[in-house]
Amino acid sequence: AQSVTQLGSHVSVSEGALVLLRCNYSSSVPPYLFWYVQYPNQGLQLLLKYTTGATLVKGINGFEAEFKKSETSFHLTKPSAHMSDAAEYFCAVIKAAGNKLTFGGGTRVLVKP
């Protein structure tokens, strides 16, 4: 069975500072990996994805994530936080031939001016 662990349910960053959200997964086979974002009062939307190829993937709004197989990690980063980045972020995995996502518990990001 797959599982996803997000370290830290809440993260507070200053505007302009680095955003780092941690995600580790456990899977018997290398999965596909995703980050979704949920802005207040909205549904989730796909931020970025890793399926195959380059392990550093770029997403919308300046976010990027790196798949590290040896560490079973897929951490999300953004060099400079903006107030509009305040949201909840979910890491998710799926098996290559699977049809169901498994989500982590989510990390809520607060951006301080």
Partner 1 sequence: DVKVTQSSRYLVKRTGEKVFLECVQDMDHENMFWYRQDPGLGLRLIYFSYDVKMKEKGDIPEGYSVSREKKERFSLILESASTNQTSMYLCASSLVNKPYEQYFGPGTRLTVT
- Check if the beta carbon of residue 11 is closer than 8 Å to that of residue 107: yes
Find the shortest distance in angstroms from Cβ 49 to partner 1. Answer: 7
**43 contributes a contact to partner 1 by CB under 8 A:** yes
Subset of 66-95 contacting partner 1 (CB under 8 A): 90, 92, 94
Residue 103 sits in the site that holds partner 1 (CB under 8 A): yes
Q: Which one of 41, 52, 70, 84 is in contact with partner 1 (CB under 8 A)?
A: 41
DSSP result, 20-82: EEEEEEE-SS--EEEEEEE-TTS-EEEEEEE-SS-SEEE-GGG-EEEEEGGGTEEEEEESS--
Q: How many positions of this chain bind partner 1 (CB under 8 A)?
A: 24
Residue 70 sits at φ, ψ, to 5 deg, of -65, -25
* Pairwise CA distance, residues 17 & 97, whole Å: 38
Smallest distance, partner 1 to C-beta of residue 81, A: 22
Q: Which of residues 3-32 bind partner 1 (CB under 8 A)?
A: 4, 6, 9, 32
Residues forming contacts to partner 1 in the complex (CB under 8 A) are: 4, 6, 9, 32, 34, 41-46, 49, 51, 90, 92, 94, 98-101, 103-106
